[in-house]
């Protein structure tokens, strides 16, 4: 297994993580890795992705394994592969080898797990088969991770607080994911002038990710229909005048994610209307990043993006009125309907399996406001947090043709002026920003954002 060979510091990193956990909870915890889900027949499975909470403490994407954490110690529960397995899958590392790689304090077959599970907390995994095993072995009900109760709830809060701020081991992985993602976007830009379909640009980007033996952290978006926020179609032709929006991020073999978006002109040249709106999104992007430092409320970063975008649209004559009034009435959300970003770590929306527990400071709830309801992060920032900054401008038919919204915002939108920008469907600029003691560091900064630099890469 590749990972056994390369990470001599892994055991130290993992030991420190579980020692930090031990300071927060005084009961044992069992975390399951999960197992593969079948695709079209049992032997044809989806690529395995271990549970992120498991990966945080076990480091290695082991299938069908559990770890027992208590008092800063880790015990590994796994079955050895049967010997028939070697013909098809090669020799697997032995339990003891893996135990050594992750610095386990003990290693046992899975059959011994039930006798060790009394009083242990856990977090529900995503795959249904393992989830059923969790309830069987613990011999109690286990709520889904976003509804964890009692000791499971305490465990979830403890792990979330640990995972919020990244240690050096995590940052090393996150920087690797970021570097490969930057390279993938550069390849996508270079491939665009000769590509006829979105899929061809996507292929060039995925080529880079796979060549580094990484995977996608999420279903990539590579589309000329950037106004479809989670577009997963890649069959459209690229036509002169189109903007291509690519939101693609790599994930390291150990599970750490990157999440980057760039928007570039298919021809290599922005039209003047495209450039006008691009500059507004970029101004919001830059202003948000400038403001990031420990202690700042992420909500204020989001509202700053809303203000900068509103101001820009007022300057272009698309919106009318005072910026502060426009933001208060969510007018910006007609064109920027999502949050300015989210936590990033082992998950691209880090710990979203826990609902808003990680993203929202205790006691805070999602707003129902049109301009805030999709904000995934609402906490004061702390050094070690990695967040995305991803403002955007979109012309979403489902919003702009909504009669209720149109009449609510009738007075503040200059619809004729807006019509002059019909060659912009969607623009987003997204980077991964580490909160540091001094302020912030854009770990994806190697990928240009300025319109001129983007144009030069698309050649």
DSSP state of 139: T
Asked if 219 touches a copy of itself (CB under 8 A), the answer is yes
* Binding mask of the shown chain, residues 114 to 133, with x at each position contacting a copy of itself by CB under 8 A: ------------xxxx----
Give the shortest CB-116-to-a copy of itself separation in angstroms: 26
Count helices and strands in the chain by DSSP H and E runs: 17, 16
Q: Which is nearer to a copy of itself, 349 or 379 (CB)?
A: 349
| Phi, psi of 343, deg, nearest 5 | -70, 150
Q: Which is nearer to Mn ion, 206 or 350 (CB)?
A: 350
Q: Which is nearer to a copy of itself, 108 or 336 (CB)?
A: 336
Contact positions with a copy of itself (CB under 8 A) in 328-347: 337, 346-347
Give the shortest CB-332-to-Mn ion separation in angstroms: 18
Helix (H/G/I), strand (E/B), else coil: 152:
helix
Kindly tell me which residue out of 202, 285, 332, 342 binds a copy of itself, with binding defined by CB under 8 A.
202
User: Residue 18's binding partner, choosing from a copy of itself, Mn ion, none, with beta-carbon cut-off 5 to 8 A by kind?
Assistant: none
Asked if 349 touches a copy of itself (CB under 8 A), the answer is yes
Q: Which is nearer to a copy of itself, 28 or 61 (CB)?
A: 61
Kindly tell me which residue out of 79, 97, 232, 325 binds a copy of itself, with binding defined by CB under 8 A.
232
Kindly tell me which residue out of 229, 283, 372, 400 binds a copy of itself, with binding defined by CB under 8 A.
229
Asked if 210 touches a copy of itself (CB under 8 A), the answer is yes
Q: Which is nearer to Mn ion, 173 or 390 (CB)?
A: 390
Give the shortest CB-401-to-Mn ion separation in angstroms: 26
Helix (H) or strand (E) holding 19: helix 10-22
The burial class, CB within 10 Å (0-12 / 13-18 / 19+), for 189 is buried
Contact 249, 217 (CB under 8 A): yes
Closest Cα partner for 354 from 144, 40, 56?
144
Q: Locate 235 and state its tokens.
A: 């069959």
* Residue 253, phi-psi category: left (phi > 0), alpha (psi -120 to 50), beta (remainder): alpha
Asked if 259 touches Mn ion (CB under 5 A), the answer is yes
DSSP assignment of 286-354, as one string? HHHHHH--TT-BHHHHHHHHHHHHHHHHHHTTSB-S-HHHHHHTTGGGGT--S-S--B-SSSSSTTGGG
Kindly tell me which residue out of 24, 398, 446, 453 binds a copy of itself, with binding defined by CB under 8 A.
398
* Binding mask of the shown chain, residues 378 to 417, with x at each position contacting Mn ion by CB under 5 A: ----------x-----------------------------
Distances (CA, A) of 44 to 39, 47, 132: 6, 9, 21
Distance CA(169)–CA(12), nearest Å, equals 9
Name the residues that contact a copy of itself, by CB under 8 A: 1-2, 37-47, 49, 51-52, 83, 86-91, 126-129, 195, 197, 199-200, 202-204, 206-213, 218-219, 225, 228-235, 253, 255, 337, 346-349, 351-353, 396-399
């Amino acid at each position: 297994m590749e990972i056994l060979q390369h990470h001599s510091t892994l055991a130290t990193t993992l030991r420190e993580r579980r020692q930090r956990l031990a300071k927060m909870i005084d009961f044992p915890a069992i975390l399951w890795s999960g197992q593969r889900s079948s695709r079209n027949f049992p032997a044809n499975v989806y690529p395995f992705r271990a549970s992120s909470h498991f990966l945080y403490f076990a480091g290695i994407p082991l299938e069908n394994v559990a770890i027992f954490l208590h008092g800063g110690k880790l015990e590994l529960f796994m079955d050895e592969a049967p010997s028939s397995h070697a013909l098809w899958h090669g020799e697997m590392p032995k339990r003891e080898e893996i135990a050594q790689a992750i610095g386990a304090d003990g290693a046992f077959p899975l059959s011994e797990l039930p006798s060790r599970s009394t009083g242990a907390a856990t977090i529900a995994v995503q795959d249904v088969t393992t989830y059923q095993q969790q309830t069987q072995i613990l011999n109690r009900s286990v709520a889904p991770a976003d509804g964890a109760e009692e000791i499971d709830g305490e465990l979830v809060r403890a792990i979330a607080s640990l995972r919020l701020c990244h240690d050096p081991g995590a940052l090393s992985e996150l920087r690797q994911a970021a570097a490969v993602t930057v390279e993938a976007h550069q390849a996508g830009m270079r491939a665009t002038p000769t590509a006829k379909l979105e899929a061809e640009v996507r292929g060039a980007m995925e080529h880079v990710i796979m060549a580094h033996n990484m995977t996608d952290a999420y279903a990539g978006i590579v589309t000329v229909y950037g106004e479809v926020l989670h577009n997963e179609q890649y069959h459209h032709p690229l036509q002169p005048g189109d903007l291509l929006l690519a939101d693609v991020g790599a994930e390291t073999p150990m599970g750490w994610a990157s999440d980057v978006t760039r928007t570039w002109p298919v021809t290599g040249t922005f039209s003047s209307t495209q450039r006008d709106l691009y500059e507004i999104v970029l101004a919001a992007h830059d202003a948000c990043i400038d403001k990031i430092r420990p202690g700042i409320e992420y909500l204020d970063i989001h509202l700053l993006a809303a203000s900068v975008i509103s101001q820009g649209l007022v300057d272009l004559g698309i919106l009318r009125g005072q910026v502060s009034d426009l933001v208060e009435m969510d007018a910006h959300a007609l064109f920027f309907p999502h949050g300015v970003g989210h936590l990033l770590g082992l998950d691209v929306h880090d710990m979203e399996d826990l609902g808003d527990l990680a993203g929202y400071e205790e006691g805070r709830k999602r707003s129902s406001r049109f301009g805030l309801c999709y904000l995934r992060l609402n906490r004061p920032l702390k050094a070690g947090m990695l967040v995305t900054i991803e403002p955007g401008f979109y012309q979403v038919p489902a919003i702009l043709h909504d009669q209720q919204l149109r009449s609510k915002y009738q007075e503040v939108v200059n619809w004729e002026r807006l019509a002059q920008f019909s060659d912009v469907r969607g623009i987003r600029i997204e980077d991964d920003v580490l909160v540091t003691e001094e302020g912030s560091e854009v770990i994806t900064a190697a990928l240009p954002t300025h319109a001129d630099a983007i144009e030069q890469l698309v050649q």
